Structure 1
Amino acid sequence: MRLRIDQQSDALYLDLNDKEIDSSEEVSDGIILDYDKDGNLVGIEVLDASKKAGDLKTLHQLSLDVPHIAV
């Protein structure tokens, strides 16, 4: 999983895996879900991210809580 923040375009992208994007769906204004050929979610894009977060500084304060998953 990888989170990318593009401050120039004010966009945030969360890659859930490395599968190729086959289709996309805008589920809300500026919120786009990307799917692979099997319909599995592979990524989430947020356009105008600082406006949606309320402040550009919010994007600089990133915290991820990822639980350990035993394999």
Structure 2
Amino acid sequence: MKITHYPETDSIYIDLSNRPSFETKEINSDLNVDLDESGRPVGIDIHGNASQYVDIANIQFETAKSKLSNTQYSISRM
């Protein structure tokens, strides 16, 4: 996943996958979701006024692995 912020337009694009976009669905005037040929989401576009929806300065990332590191559980491959 990759998040790109475009400050000049106050927009954010969130790449969810490296699969190509086939179709874009407009959710509302500020939000689009890009879908692949199978209808799976590959990207989210918050275009214009992104800072109203996302606290850009304080974006934090957590993974399941980091959440589990302080517990008795672990993640293993099957």
Same fold (TM over 0.5): yes
Where does structure 1 differ by over 4 angstroms across 4 or more consecutive aligned residues?
none
The root-mean-square deviation of aligned C-alpha atoms, in Å, is 1.6
Matches within 5 A, 1:52-67: 52-53=53-54, 58-67=55-64
Equivalent residue, structure 2, for 1:17: 17
Bigger share in strand: 1
Q: How many residues matched?
A: 67
Equivalent residue, structure 2, for 1:36: 36
- Counterpart-to-counterpart distance in 2, 1:17 and 1:62: 19
- Counterpart-to-counterpart distance in 1, 2:76 and 2:6: 32
- Helix, strand or coil: the match of 1:60? helix
Equivalent residue, structure 1, for 2:46: 46
Same amino acid, percent of matched pairs? 22
Per mean C-alpha deviation after superposition, the further-off stretch among 38-47 and 58-67 is 58-67
Q: Which runs of 5+ in 1 are unaligned?
A: none
TM-score of the superposition, structure 2-length normalised? 0.74
- Counterpart-to-counterpart distance in 1, 2:16 and 2:76: 18
- Counterpart-to-counterpart distance in 1, 2:25 and 2:31: 8
